[in-house]
């Protein structure tokens, strides 16, 4: 055994020992966390891993981020290919003549692999310095932090990112020089030119530095081998200590992403539960802890967050990092001091940075989750913490008291008398389920469409459309219950479950099979969350049904509509349920209507500010999400702002009035615009 082999073996064993110890220190918290089943629907998990993990889909498709995304994807793909070289160079520490099967010179895959590896080493080297320039020269706000919510992030020197990038540069450069030197050494070993590996970039380096200098080539090969392998070992041990731990956890995190509907929150077992929300580290499940390990600190989440954009205390990245850092810094102490009664160090407070104001700022719009390239889940964590605040501490914004009381006593957040729920239908000859039990569809109106004066007009417009198309439908009238969406998003799981269970029982009594609703919040709850209570229905949003009716010729818009229309995507219709095209198809079918897209639209659309119960919580004038969103929509120079959600209608109308533009800018629901054209 040579000295080189002995030294390499000791270095390798020492590095792997330290790495194993560090990974154990991270893994033990995953093992202690609450269990959750993330092994269902394996085919879909594999598909997502291939598309979003290996394929880097989100990096390549996010508008405004494509250049940085392409650079990151190239570095990622380069490392996948370079894995073969890493294995080969490690193995040569024990077997100097080792050749990896298939990919080494003479192997069946060698020509393609060697050329690809060679070119990607140069590409990755160049990409590294593009990324370094972003950290130390151009300073994109997304990377540096958003004030005031990410003051700590903004103050962070980001030296870790630069160091990791320099490691990667060193790995690729040493790999190229190793290959270049080997070309000279291999030249004397192969009988024919065809047997030599074809590596164009390494060949240029070889010609420039080592041509005719076999002794220099041998020395350079040895040095490059040591540099390459030692950087890998140091890099590997630095990963668990830094944000680049995601190099190890990203693909698993994508694989274990939730495959049930994004609009379905977890159902608490209220009868046997000892805790009623998340207040301590040990209350998180292992996927939620894995999320903390996986954050790349790229800032894409915070750059899309409406709370961050309006200067509130919430920035999704900072919230996750605060939780992660609290776990790292306190470790076993915070995990083991919780009592059986749930007492112990809370994660909510100034000591962690995750304050109540952070938790209540969330609109649950999922913009952060949709933007995250490694599929971190934020909304579930925030709602779970809200459940603790509401159900265990009764700590919530004062305005929410009225909302909960209205839902408990009158079955709606407005607190209007339940006997007025069907007043909108007076004189329209709309049958109730009791009057027409064989109706094909239940038209579930919802609280907004039943009680809010502005939303009633939208409900009446949809009723006109359904009648025009000859749809067989009926309503529950005064018997229609609230589905409880607002209570659940605000953290009052007990109130939500009682309302949802009652609604499912009402539906069962009416023998409901198909449901139409125009409110995305009702749509999401009935479609995605009622199945938790045994309520399985064919649920369709009005825009989906009406769009198909137009295609089938059962509805024919004839009158000229609004001229320049910008459509605002509801979060619970779009990002939660991927209904983007149907409302636009309806608008485009109306003569004279030109549909304009806002800069932020479809899955990158911005919340109106009503989601997550924020509809009912007052905001400071300079922090109003609806004002910011209306400004974005007005920038399109559209004359009409269209929406497909009664909550959005309220927020957008208020925003237009706040800006003094109500005389020139209309805010109308898609159903109103279509009804006017029939």
Give the CATH number, domain containing residue 501: 3.40.50
Show the tokens assigned to 258.
């939730």
CB 376, CB 291: distance < 8 Å: yes
Distance CA 125, CA 88 (A): 20
Q: Which residues contact 356 (CB under 8 A, 6 or more apart)?
A: 348, 389, 395
Distance CA 359, CA 613 (A): 12
The residue from 551, 581, 597 where one domain ends is 551
Show the tokens assigned to 189.
């070993």
State the pTM of this model: 0.92
Q: Cβ atoms within 10 A of the Cβ of 239, count?
A: 21
- 222: domain range? 64-241
Examine the pLDDT at 195 and tell me if it is beyond 50: no
- 79, 227: one domain: yes
Examine the pLDDT at 85 and tell me if it is beyond 70: yes
- 571, 547: one domain: no
pLDDT of res. 677: 92
Show the tokens assigned to 362.
């969330």
pLDDT of res. 311: 93
Instruction: Give the residue among 507, 524, 533 at the shortest CA–CA distance from 441.
Output: 507
Asked whether residue 83 is domain-assigned, the answer is: yes
Examine the pLDDT at 385 and tell me if it is beyond 60: yes
The residue from 210, 241, 272 where one domain ends is 241
pLDDT of res. 109: 66
- 79, 224: one domain: yes
- 578, 479: one domain: no
Asked whether residue 388 is domain-assigned, the answer is: no
Bridge partner list, 253: none
Asked whether residue 73 is domain-assigned, the answer is: yes
Q: Which residue has the tokens 């589905």?
A: 483
- 510, 578: one domain: no
Examine the pLDDT at 339 and tell me if it is beyond 60: no
Asked whether residue 643 is domain-assigned, the answer is: yes
List phi, psi (to 5°) of 145. 120, 155
CB 240, CB 309: distance < 8 Å: no
List phi, psi (to 5°) of 213. -130, 70
CB 390, CB 612: distance < 8 Å: no
Q: Which residues contact 134 (CB under 8 A, 6 or more apart)?
A: 68, 140, 143
pLDDT band at 573 (very low <50, low <70, confident <90, very high): very high
Helix (H, G, I), strand (E, B) or coil at 272: coil
Average pLDDT along the chain: 91
Asked whether residue 480 is domain-assigned, the answer is: yes
Q: Which residue has the tokens 């400004």?
A: 631
The residue from 241, 263, 292 where one domain ends is 241
**Each residue's pLDDT tens digit, 270-317:** 888 888 999 999 899 999 999 999 998 889 999 999 999 999 999 999
Instruction: Provide the sign of the torsion angle of the four alpha carbons 272, 506, 612, 294, taken in this order.
Output: positive
For the ranges 57-61, 271-275, 473-477, the maximum mean pLDDT occurs at 473-477
Give the total number of structural domains in the chain: 3
pLDDT of res. 116: 87
- 172, 84: one domain: yes
- 496, 540: one domain: yes
- 541, 588: one domain: no
Show the tokens assigned to 291.
């999320």
Distance CA 19, CA 576 (A): 39
Instruction: Provide the sign of the torsion angle of the four alpha carbons 619, 621, 624, 630, taken in this order.
Output: positive
Q: Cβ atoms within 10 A of the Cβ of 453, count?
A: 7
Q: Cβ atoms within 10 A of the Cβ of 339, count?
A: 8
- 547, 576: one domain: no
**Each residue's pLDDT tens digit, 606-638:** 999 999 999 999 999 899 999 999 999 999 999
Asked whether residue 377 is domain-assigned, the answer is: no
Query: Region 535-545: what's the mean pLDDT?
Result: 97
- 157, 186: one domain: yes
Distance CA 486, CA 611 (A): 9
Asked whether residue 215 is domain-assigned, the answer is: yes
- 568, 547: one domain: no
Q: Cβ atoms within 10 A of the Cβ of 2, count?
A: 10
Asked whether residue 19 is domain-assigned, the answer is: no
pLDDT of res. 140: 83
**Each residue's pLDDT tens digit, 508-533:** 999 999 999 999 999 999 999 999 99
- 416, 456: one domain: yes
CB 259, CB 326: distance < 8 Å: no
Examine the pLDDT at 119 and tell me if it is beyond 50: yes
Show the tokens assigned to 568.
């605002």
Q: Which residues contact 343 (CB under 8 A, 6 or more apart)?
A: none
Q: Cβ atoms within 10 A of the Cβ of 263, count?
A: 22
């Amino acid at each position: 055994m040579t000295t080189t082999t002995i030294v390499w073996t000791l270095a390798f064993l020492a590095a792997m020992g330290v790495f194993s110890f560090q990974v154990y220190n991270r893994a033990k918290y995953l093992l202690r966390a609450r269990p959750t089943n993330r092994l269902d629907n394996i085919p879909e998990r594999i598909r997502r891993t291939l598309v979003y993990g290996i394929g880097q889909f989100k990096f390549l498709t996010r508008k405004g981020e494509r250049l940085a995304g392409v650079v990151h994807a190239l570095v990622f793909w380069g490392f996948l290919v370079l894995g073969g070289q890493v294995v080969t160079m490690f193995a040569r520490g024990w077997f100097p003549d080792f050749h990896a099967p298939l990919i080494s010179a003479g192997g069946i895959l060698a020509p393609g692999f060697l050329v690809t590896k060679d070119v990607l080493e140069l590409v990755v080297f160049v990409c590294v310095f593009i990324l370094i320039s972003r950290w130390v020269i151009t300073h994109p706000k997304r990377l540096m932090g958003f004030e005031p919510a990410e003051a700590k992030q903004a103050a962070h020197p980001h030296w870790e990112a630069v160091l990791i990038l320099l490691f990667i540069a060193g790995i690729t450069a040493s790999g190229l020089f190793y290959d270049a030197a080997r070309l000279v050494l291999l030249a004397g070993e192969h009988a024919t030119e065809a047997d030599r590996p074809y590596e164009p970039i390494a060949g240029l380096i070889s010609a420039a530095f080592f041509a005719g200098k076999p002794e220099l080539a041998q020395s350079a090969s040895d040095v490059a081998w040591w540099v390459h392998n030692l950087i890998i070992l140091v890099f590997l041990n630095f990963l668990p200590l830094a944000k680049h731990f995601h190099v190890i956890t990203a693909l698993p995190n994508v694989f274990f992403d939730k495959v049930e509907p994004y609009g379905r929150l977890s159902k608490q077992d209220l009868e046997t539960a000892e805790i009623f929300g998340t207040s301590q580290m040990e209350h998180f499940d292992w996927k939620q802890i894995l999320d903390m390990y996986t954050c790349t600190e790229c800032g894409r989440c915070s750059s899309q967050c409406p709370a961050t954009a309006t200067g509130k205390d919430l920035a999704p990245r900072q919230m996750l990092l605060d939780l992660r850092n609290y776990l790292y810094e306190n470790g076993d102490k915070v995990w083991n001091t919780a009592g059986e009664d749930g007492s112990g160090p809370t994660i909510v407070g100034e000591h962690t940075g995750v304050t109540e104001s952070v938790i209540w700022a969330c609109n649950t719009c999922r913009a952060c989750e949709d933007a995250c390239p490694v599929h971190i889940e934020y909304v579930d964590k925030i709602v779970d913490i809200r459940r603790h605040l509401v159900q265990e501490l009764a700590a919530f914004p004062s305005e929410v008291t009225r909302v909960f009381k209205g839902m408990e006593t009158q079955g709606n957040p407005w607190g209007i008398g339940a006997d007025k729920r069907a007043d909108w239908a007076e004189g329209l000859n709309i049958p109730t389920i009791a009057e027409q039990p064989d109706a094909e569809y239940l038209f579930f109106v919802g609280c907004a469409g039943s009680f809010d004066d502005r939303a009633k007009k939208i409900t009446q417009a949809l009723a006109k459309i359904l009648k025009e198309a000859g749809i067989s439908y009926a309503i529950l009238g005064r018997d229609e219950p609230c589905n409880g969406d607002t209570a659940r998003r605000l953290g009052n799981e007990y109130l939500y479950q009682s309302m949802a269970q009652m609604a499912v029982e009402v539906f069962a009594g009416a023998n409901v099979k198909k449901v139409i609703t125009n409110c995305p919040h009702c749509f999401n709850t009935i479609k995605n969350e009622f199945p938790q209570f045994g309520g399985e229905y064919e649920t369709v949003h009005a825009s989906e049904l009406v769009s198909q009716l137009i295609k089938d010729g059962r509805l024919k818009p004839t009158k000229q509509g609004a001229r320049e229309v910008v459509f605002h995507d509801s979060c619970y219709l779009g990002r939660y349920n991927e209904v983007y095209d149907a409302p636009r198809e309806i608008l485009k079918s109306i003569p004279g209507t030109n549909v304009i897209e806002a800069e932020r639209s479809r899955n990158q659309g911005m919340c109106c500010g009503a989601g997550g119960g924020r509809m009912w919580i007052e905001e400071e004038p300079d922090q109003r999400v609806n004002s910011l969103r209306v400004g974005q929509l007005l920038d399109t120079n559209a004359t009409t702002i269209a929406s497909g959600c009664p909550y959005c209608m309220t927020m957008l109308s208020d925003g237009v009035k706040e800006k003094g533009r109500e005389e020139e800018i209309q805010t109308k629901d898609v159903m109103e615009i279509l009804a006017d054209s029939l």
